[in-house]
Structures are given as C-alpha cells and as structure tokens.
A and B are shown apart, each in its own frame.
Chain A
Amino acid sequence: DIQMTQSPSSLSASIGDRVTLTCRASQGITNFLNWYQQKPGKAPKLLIYAASSLASGVPSRFSGSGSGTDFTLTISSLQPEDFATYYCQQSYTTPRTFGQGTKVEIK
C-alpha cells in the first residue's frame, strides 16, 4: 500500500496568515493527489483534485502543488472558516490511502 505522510500533524496560525501543509507519498503517484477539508462532526469536503485543480466553489485562497512524491496545500490568507483538519489522499492505485491529517488551529 502507498503510505501518505502529512506534516505537521497540527499547527496554530492567526487570521490572515499564509499556511502551507505538506503531504509525502511513499512512492511516486504523479499528480493523483487530492486534498479534503473536514470540520468537526462533518463529512470531508473536496478542496483540490489532481494535485493543483481547485474544486468547484472552493475559494481561490486555497491552492495545491506538487508531483511525484511531494505535495503542498497552501492557504494564502487564513480565514476563520478555514480552521479544520486537512487530509491528503492518493488516487493513483487501490487501496486509496489518506494521510493522517493536519489540524489547523487558531493561535
């Protein structure tokens, strides 16, 4: 199975901060990498697909980049509604696997 490792596990940031989350795959997955946002008690929500494509309705302050084994999700200016847990997921092969998540908290 492909292992997905996210860093950091959690971070504290302030409104307006630029935040970068990292995801690393245990083997190359080209650009088959998706990002999801999950708020407490809610289902995950798609943010970014194919490493860098913004999902419909997602604010442009979110962006994704990377290819191969290393990927990043960037929030250019953190807003109150962005405090959540973020998961990366590889869709290169089955079983699909997720990172352990990065929790973004208010400083």
Chain B
Amino acid sequence: QVQVIQSGAEVKKPGSSVKVSCKTSGGTFNTDTLTWVRQAPGQGLEWMGAIIPMFGTANYAQKFQGRVTINADKSTTTVYMELSSLRFDDTAVYYCAREVWSGNDNWLDPWGQGTLVTVSS
C-alpha cells in the first residue's frame, strides 16, 4: 500500500520561500510520478508540476515557471517542492500525490494529507 506523508504547516512572510516535503513508501519511488497540486482557501485544485525521480527533471505549469522547484531524494524516497518569492495569494494547501500509470491510463492516487502554507506579514 503506497503512503504519502507531507511535512507540517508553514507560516511565511511575503518575498520568502517555502519548502514542503513529501515522503512516500510502499511504491516504486524511482519510477513513480510525484505531483504537486495546490488549493487556495475556498478554491479549486491547481496542478503545479511533477517529477519522476529516476529522470530527475521536473515538469512545471507555466504559471509557476521560475518560482517553483521540485526535486527528489532517492535515498530517502522524499520529494520536495520549493516555492519562492511568496505572495499573499500563495496561501493555500499544497498536496503531493502519486500519479499512477496503468497501460495508457493515469490518475492521482494516493494523495498526501496536505500542507497549509500561510503567507502573512
């Protein structure tokens, strides 16, 4: 059974950076696709980017290009998402999820519990 456990809540000042971790277990870490999705208060889900640890190169949504970095530590089966130049509207719950591939189909499962990042002065 694959499990995804994220780091705890963060409070950050505008202009600073935040780094959220996502530890997985029970899967095939190197070949899994680990994805980051965020959800602002009362809003919908927004895909930020994803990484396959075996390849090491992440794919980012255009909206976050230049501000987000996703990387993976194979030794600890942990993926990290760092968002820089934080703004008030980056306040959100950040989710890590495994993208499952089966044949030509793919979906997100399981999801981590979410990490609340609050940007406040």
Residues of A at under 8 Å CB distance from B?
1, 31-32, 34, 36, 43-46, 49-50, 53, 55, 87, 89, 91, 94-101
Contact = CB atoms under 8 A, between A and B. Distances in A.
Given A43-B95, A44-B95, A98 B46 contact: yes
For chain B, the bracket of interface size reads 20 to 34
B9 interface: no
Interface of B: 35, 37, 44-47, 50, 59, 61-62, 95, 97, 99, 105-114
Contacts of A43: 95, 97, 111-114
A49 B47 contact: no
Secondary structure of the A contact surface, majority rule:
loop
A48 B62 CA distance: 27
Contacts of B62: 1, 95
Contact of B47 (A45, A96, A101): A96
Contacts of A91: 99, 105-107
A101 B111 CA distance: 18
Contacts of B111: 43-45
